[in-house]
């Protein structure tokens, strides 16, 4: 909640802006903990901040392995490296999974919004065969989807609520560590410290 913008969010918005000519500037790596206790790491796409907050949205398929992993351990770290400005954001936090069965109508609305905001091409992926399962040849690969259709069952929204951000600028050789704590009225407060790169 709160009207104050997290201080690292301004840096991140600036980095996104100055790297926006690169298609891959909205891609980052999301690390979670695998069911076998080993780290798991994959590239995902930034789908915006949740309205008026510093929470980061990611679309994914409920059938991917990361869903089970996050259910088992909800903590994750984003590593977002901007290849043009040489800036890195390591964003650590807890992930909330919003699928079609979520009992909260507000969350379902947010999920629907994220579905509507995605391209028809990326929507069609959720109708494809089960990700990670062996590829069966000869299966029909033609799907169609009316653009007005709401989110399909496999569509799922991940919302990462950051509680620590480690910012590194390799051009200026500056590093800032942002740490949050909850104030008495439950509002998230950020402090920052300059640390050695």
Chain positions contacting its own copies, by CB under 8 A: 22, 24, 27, 29-33, 37-43, 73, 75-79, 81, 83, 88, 90, 92, 128-135, 175, 177, 193-197
Place of tokens 């402090």: 191
For residue 157, give both structure tokens: 């929204």
The residues facing 179 across adjacent strands are 164, 191
Instruction: Confirm if 152 and 172 have CB atoms less than 8 A apart.
Output: no
In whole angstroms, how far apart are CA 182 and each of 88, 89, 177, 179?
25, 22, 17, 10
Please report how close the Cβ of residue 74 comes to its own copies at its closest, in angstroms: 10
**Distance, CA of 22 to CA of 84 (rounded, Å):** 8
Nearer to its own copies, 76 or 98 (CB): 76
Residue 28 Cβ, how far from its own copies at the closest point, in Å? 8
- Residue placing its CB nearer to its own copies in the complex, 67 or 108: 67
Least distance in Å: CB of 44 to its own copies?
Answer: 10
CB 96 within 8 A of CB 159: yes
Shortest reach from residue 121's CB to its own copies, in Å:
11
Output 100 or 131, the one with its CB closest to its own copies. 131
Q: How far is the CB of 59 from its own copies (least distance, A)?
A: 15
Query: By C-beta, is 65 or 113 nearer to its own copies?
Result: 65
> 43 or 119, CB closer to its own copies?
43
Separation between Cα atoms, residue 127 and residue 135, nearest integer Å: 15
CA angle 136, 63, 114 (to 5 degrees): 120
Give backbone dihedrals phi and psi of 6, rounded to 5 degrees, phi first. Answer: -55, 135
């Amino acid at each position: 909640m709160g009207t104050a913008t997290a201080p690292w969010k301004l840096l991140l918005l600036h980095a996104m802006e100055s790297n926006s000519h690169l298609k891959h500037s909205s891609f980052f790596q999301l690390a979670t903990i695998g069911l076998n206790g080993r780290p798991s790491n994959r590239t995902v796409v930034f789908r915006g901040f949740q309205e008026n907050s510093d929470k980061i949205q990611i679309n994914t398929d409920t059938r991917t392995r990361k869903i089970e992993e996050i259910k088992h351990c909800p903590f994750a770290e984003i590593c977002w490296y901007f290849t043009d400005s040489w800036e890195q954001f390591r964003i650590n936090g807890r992930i909330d999974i919003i699928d079609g069965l979520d009992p909260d109508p507000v969350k379902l609305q947010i999920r629907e919004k994220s579905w509507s905001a995605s391209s028809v091409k990326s929507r069609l992926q959720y109708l494809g065969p089960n990700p990670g399962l062996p590829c069966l040849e000869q299966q029909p690969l033609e799907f169609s989807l009316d653009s007005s259709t709401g989110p399909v069952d496999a569509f799922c929204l991940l919302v990462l609520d950051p509680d620590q951000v480690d910012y590194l600028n390799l051009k200026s050789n500056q590093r800032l560590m942002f740490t949050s704590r909850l104030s008495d009225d439950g509002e998230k407060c950020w402090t920052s410290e300059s640390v050695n790169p």
